[in-house]
Structure 1
Amino acid sequence: MADADLDVIIRKLARQQHKSLTAAVKARRARYLALAAKAKDAAGKQRLREMAKQAFEEGTAAARRLQMSADNAADSYARAMRRTAEALAAEQAASPTKASARTAPSKTKKPAKS
C-alpha cells in the first residue's frame, strides 16, 4: 500500500465506513421495531414504528452524504495529482537543461577515509 494512490485508499476507507454505518442504522431500526413489538398500546407501537422509519431514513441519508463526500475528496485529490504531474512534465519539457542539471550527480567527490 506504500505506492498506492491516496484516492483509491480514500474510496476503500469510505466503503468500509459506509458498510459499518449502514449496519449500525439497520441495528438501530431493528431495535426500535423490537420495542414496537413489545409495546402495550397501539399509540406506543405506532410511535416506535415511526421512530424506526425516521432512524432508517436519516441514517441512510447520512451514509449517502458520507459516500458522496469521500468520492468528491478522492476525485479532487486525483485531479490535483494529474495537474501536478502535467505541470511538472510541461516544466521539464520547457527547460531540459534545468532538468538534467537536477538529475546529474555532483562532480565533487568526498575523499576516502583511511
Structure 2
Amino acid sequence: MQASYGNLLNNLPLDSSAEVFELLHERAGLKIERIVSNGQASPPGFWYDNPQEEWVLLLSGSAGLTLEGAREEHVMQPGTWLHIPAHCRHRIEWTDANQPTIWLAVHHEITSL
C-alpha cells in the first residue's frame, strides 16, 4: 500500500463561489474529506440527513450549524469539533465570508462495541 500525505491548509481552491469537497481517504465504511467554504450556507429549508455518522473539526474560519431540535445555533471556531449521529438532521447557517472555512470531515458507519 502506498502512503499518502498533504497539508489541509495548503492548495486551497481558487474559485470561492462554491463549497469544495475533496476526498482524502476512503475505504469500506469510512470517508475522510476536506471541505472548504467561503460564505456558503445551506439553502433555506434544506437539512442534511446522512445515513452515516459524521465527525467534523473546524481548522480555520468560522461557521454556525443548527441541529434539528436544538435550542440554539452551534458556533464553530478553529479547533471546535462536533459529532453528528446518523440521521441527525442538521444545516449550515453560515460560514465566514472573509476567509476560507476549512473543515475536516470523517464519515463512518455506525458500529457497536
* Band the TM-score falls in, shorter-chain normalisation: under 0.3
TM-score for the superposition, normalised by structure 2: 0.17
Larger radius of gyration: 1
Which is helix-richer, 1 or 2? 1
Which is strand-richer, 1 or 2? 2
